[in-house]
Structure 1
């Protein structure tokens, strides 16, 4: 199990470290996704587009102190504290300004027990006549969290020289543990090879970095190493007398080191010392405090519409006209007449009527239609319209369709003839004109008819035929009131039913 974890961790470290990008990484040429820090104007990430160094090499040395074991380095007032040595070297990669990874190699030696293995065992104290030392080599993969960048206030303008880091990771630990007893002879008690099942270990800790310059950092670090092994302290086999003194099943130690980091790359600053939010606020402060005279209107404003001629799309706007952001005079109803000259700003209308719609006089329309129908002729004593009247009917229908409205057509006759006959003839002729106009495209709901016969005739029966011709006509009236129009019938007479002839069949007697 330990071997599998170590191999997987190292396998993931290599591609991650080689493909990691700095804080300016963007998408692959398309629109940026949630995790990119670019804008819509993006380009593929390359080494040339980087602004910060993100690689470094770290070295350091220190003192390991076995703390949780059957044989410890710290005596707590009972005996001497035994100090070993340790050293490390690591290759560091910054993924973002707040996170990175380290591939680290450690070498060292811990000293534990009741005396130094270089000295002779004390006599007369059997329980204390045991000492040990452990030489170890370790390879581990560590995650590096920059707490200062995560927790730093953006309004903190003090020099950014100190940074608190946190580390955690796993790796493989190989060691040789020696023990010295009352016979003053050292013996190899336990040996663990690297990349074995029982060589997996973990470590966690914190470090405080100081930025000397753009190339060198100093760091004090304290790591807590969890070996996961009860034999690391040199006590011998797991169930030996020494390893039965404490119930601990993992020998753990502190490793306090002092080291330095050399930051690699051609850029002036390292990614781990960069705080994007602080940079943004700093730039905002600079812009806010900058005093600069800007000439916004070099070409002036010739038409005095408050829009500089540099971006004015209408340089001859009339005085007093309201304009949009491009300097174009406003035309709210889009009728081609600017609001300055438009007397009906919200209603479109032609320029010849000052931008107002032309109101149609349907009463005048009725008069014009009546003039056209004046020369409509019928067959003698019939309601059949003669062919020579078609042009007049065409023109009358065109006028009605162009102007709209509801119209009542009234048929008239002269005084000659019986009143009943004249009434029926006038009704049929008025209805015939309505039908002819509707056949030419006039709406079926726009025309109605009636007949008054000779009731309104002006000339007596003794008048000449030419004089009585003025009484034989169709008049047109525009009906403005909708209620009045709805109360009228389509025509004011009922057509006589058609009588069907019935053929009598001869019956046969049975």
Structure 2
């Protein structure tokens, strides 16, 4: 009954700990922005449109602006829009439109006074890379930095004013068509479900040196567009934006939901096990109370008090079935010269494997005679193992002890009483000869037999 009670107690403890762990799982989880992991793109809003406005200027963050054809920039209003398709959570394809005008003043010392270029259109197709849409501290990130790069076509007309001359239009006033490469970066801030604030900066590298109407040097023209705008996600408002979705948060929600689905079943099993264990504990307590009077042993002599006719027996005294001390007969032990000769022969013929406690078979016959002597006359025997000083102190002490124990084990296997044999190891601490010679070391490697 006692082992069963211990097992039941351990099971109860485990179930209680398990119930505490499950209690840490939230009872309800937010479904906002949740999408089952590895769902298709149709589970998200992947299309969006954006509008923006900002500043157009011929100066950019790349290169030295002092080397451009016109060195005094003018800031002008620009406007744009785009439509974007999110392919992956961090990659999208974006079609942009940009309009406005770019102008600059060369200064009074230059041949040309100023220029103004009107963008009739500038359309491009770019890759949009979101750099961070996973937040390890919050379910939804509030800011998404991004990079863009692409290729496009523009149509523009440039008007030039000379310092001491008339105004004229390049390309005879016709629209100039040219390719350009837009490169940009920015930040998007989530304002609400499906609405983002877009702050960006874009540099447009033009494929020629005609944009400002003046060809000088080997560097093509470029201009920048710093803008602010709004992006609106298209589609059902119940779906999150793929670009702002945090997949780590959805995976965590999925994991917690799976635990919640199994919690009720496991809790029912835990409650049933608790009830069964409580009943088992009550039954065992009642049984143990009834059996206590039959198992109590006040004097520790192995006989329960209920049957002990001699209570308060001193510790270590052997008793009979009624708990009363047994008579002690001390036998007279006489060790004869013949007995000592048997022991001396055993010592003389004793051999071990080198550096080990394994007894060689040559030693067995004389050891068998010692075992017979111990059995027949009930002698006691002390075995003392010794070594030379070769090797470490600890190794020699262990080897001497192991060899004495090995002899004891063999004698016991031949019928000797183990309680009457003492095996001790002294290592190299008690030499009987000098360890400086091979003969002396051999003499020190020994096991002494003391018969009494």
Q: TM-score range by the shorter chain?
A: 0.3 to 0.5
Normalized per residue, the structure richer in strand is 2
Normalized per residue, the structure richer in helix is 2
TM-score norm. by structure 2 comes to: 0.45
TM-score norm. by structure 1 comes to: 0.40
Q: Which has the higher contact order (CA 8 A, sep 6+)?
A: 2
Larger radius of gyration: 1
